[in-house]
Amino acid sequence: MKKINHLPENLKKVFILSLLTFFILLTRGSHLLTSFNLPDATFVLLFAGGILLKEYKWLTYFLILSIGIDFLSPPNGLENSYIFNLGYVGLMISYFVSWFLGRYLSQSSIFSIANYVYIGTFFIMSSYLISTLTFYYFSGLESQVSVTSFLASYYQEFFIVNIIYMTILFISIKFSQSLMARNNTQSYE
């Protein structure tokens, strides 16, 4: 007897949208690990959105969601003027880069670990450099340290957190692909 997959494509998109939205809300309130928040995962979640959703309307949705969260919940002791300055444009650009690199990865014929590591490394490095350098140069805040010291002061936390999130994303995608392949082979038996 042939099994029919009752999970339509739109339901999958709703599930992915809900999951990504949930994790943005869970991690976006703080850029650091606190008792209430996990470290910010927005870069990796937008990369995942590019892989899984692809359409630009969803990028727009996540950008508006991120801006809304930043506007409504600035970090303790900071005003919105600290967050919303010309340097914030670089953050948005790095989100675009994250989405586009995710789309690029999803268009490759083989979703291998080698492709993922190659594109993922470029994604993490470019996101860090774009967002951090634009904040340093265009935020309007006077920095007491050089640009190399500024970059060095945040890189370890950024890379460790995002590499962990990228590993979780890869495992999740591979796991869901194996489940889908298993369901497809069972439907033909």
The tally of domains found in the chain comes to 1
Q: Do the domain assignments include residue 171?
A: yes
Q: Do the domain assignments include residue 70?
A: yes
Domain containing 78: what range? 9-187
Contacts within 8 Å (CB) and 24+ apart, 145-154: 154/128
Confidence (pTM): 0.84
Q: Do the domain assignments include residue 33?
A: yes
Q: Is the pLDDT of residue 80 over 90?
A: no
Q: Do the domain assignments include residue 3?
A: no
Q: Token pair of 51, please? A: 């892989």
Q: Do the domain assignments include residue 163?
A: yes
Compute the average pLDDT of residues 86-107.
92
Q: Do the domain assignments include residue 4?
A: no
Q: What's the CA gap between 46 and 49, in Å, rounded?
A: 5
Q: Do the domain assignments include residue 80?
A: yes
Q: Do the domain assignments include residue 1?
A: no
pLDDT (0 to 100) of residue 87: 82
pLDDT in tens, 5-52: 555 678 889 999 999 999 999 888 655 455 566 888 999 999 999 999
Q: Among candidates 57, 66, 118, which has minimal Cα distance to 94?
A: 66
pLDDT in tens, 127-176: 999 998 888 888 777 777 888 888 888 888 899 999 999 999 999 999 98
Q: Which residues contact 58 (CB under 8 A, 6 or more apart)?
A: 17, 49
